[in-house]
Amino acid sequence: MINVIPAIDLIDGKCVRLTKGDYNQKKQYDASPLDMALRYQDIGIRRLHLVDLDGAKSSSPKNLHVLEEIATRTSLDIEWGGGIKSDEALRDAFNAGADHLIIGSVAVSKPELFARWLGEYGGDRLILGADINDGRVAINGWLEESEQTIDALIDRFLPYGLREIICTDIAKDGMLQGPTFDLYARLQAAYPEQDIIVSGGISKMDDIRRLDEMNLRHVIVGKAIYEGRITLEELKRGLP
């Protein structure tokens, strides 16, 4: 059964969601990040997707206090992304309690550095974050578009033990219109030994069921939960 990974996106320590990665299209939610994490843990969720949007725009993480609080107060397996662009930032995030780190911009702009990190920490702790827009990988909080394709990016790091790839279709993110099913099916078929983690566009449980039927293994769900399109009770019941 597909593993559902709830997302918490952070700006100034608050839960927010963006539309198509646009910082000017921000919606803030009342629940605190810790409260949401505890709710997810209570219904049996195992992994949490935490993204530091402030850090993604800058050169270092900005919300590590939130990570530390959630890591201390829950037993969730936490994947953290945003601002991991140096050895210091990487160590700080691990020390704050991250179980896995999502590396995006560095993988594109400094591939040798990401390759070294994979060699040092392993593919079970580092995840490639590939955020795509019109087929190209975007970096630095989705504010810049590179010439790199997702396939070329994945291929670059396979020899270094890459195991997990979070692929976010920016055009779908926050739109609640369903994910780009064909994209994820193609990637999972092309890289059967890796886990392609679906991100962006999930609008209802039927989307998750369809991905499960397509043999996708992991899916990140964010705005659909906050907007009540998918309830915690539905997540607790799981797929029929």
- Kindly name the residue from 131, 169, 173, 207 that is annotated as catalytic: 131
Cβ burial, residue 132 (10 Å; 0-12/13-18/19+):
buried
- Cβ(40)–Cβ(51) below 8 Å: no
Give the tokens for residue 109: 């702009």
| Cα separation, 65 vs 11, whole angstroms | 12
131 is catalytic: yes
Task: Name the DSSP letter for residue 20.
Answer: T
Number of residues in the chain: 240
Q: Which residue has the tokens 């040798």?
A: 112
Residue 5 CA: distances (Å) to CA of 13, 48, 214: 20, 6, 17
9 is catalytic: yes
Three-state DSSP class for residue 86: coil
| Cα separation, 93 vs 204, whole angstroms | 32
- Residues annotated as catalytic are 9, 131
